[in-house]
Amino acid sequence: METLRKHRVMVEFIGFDEIWNKLHNLDSLQNICLAGSQICDIGGKGELSRIFPNLHTLSFEDNLLFDWNQVYLIGSELASLQELSLTNNILREPEDLRVGHHENIRVLFSEEVVPRSPINLFQSLQSLILIHTGSRWKTVFSVLPAFPHLESLVLCRNDLSDFENIVLEQDTLQSLKFLNLE
């Protein structure tokens, strides 16, 4: 590298090889933040599990996800996921899982159907962050059956004014230890 006075200076990047190896071994990644990456689709069936088989923490903040089927596909692909942040993705109203009519997950990218119910899908997920997702209580209680072991739920900056839709069923939120409604 040259300085302002045209002198050559040797620069050594410490830890570069370690970072390079991690980038080329995505299957060993446990935490990833894809904030602001303008992701609008999850991809085809099997893509996430092939690329990130051991993922524990996934941050999809400030992206362009728009449908709960995309979220359900994440759950069907990443069985060991423990924390998921969907902050600033405006998700449209989902089908109500409590009704029991939701038997499949639609892959929006290819119009494929994954023959798996979203109910109890996120078995390992302990923390769900839904800040500014356009959620109402109706939405929250519609999707909760997919998250049976939630310990932490963050619902800040949503439209939670529809109190008539708060319906706590017996097995809903049994593991919850932290709820943020700021």
pLDDT tens-digit series, residues 11-56: 677 776 776 666 667 777 889 999 999 999 888 888 899 988 999 9
Q: Is the pLDDT of residue 104 over 80?
A: yes
Does residue 12 sit in helix, strand or coil? coil
Count the helices and strands in the chain (H runs, E runs).
Answer: 4, 8
CATH of the domain spanning 31-180 = 3.80.10.10
Burial 1-39, CB ≥16 within 10 A → b, else e: eeeeeeeeeeeeeeeeeeeeeeeeeeeebeeeeeeeeeb
pLDDT at 127: 98
Answering whether pTM is above 0.85, one says no
Cα angle, residue 65 at apex, residues 177 and 52 outer, rounded to 5°: 75
The single residue listed with the structure tokens 């045209």 is 6
Delimit the domains of the chain by residue range: 31-180
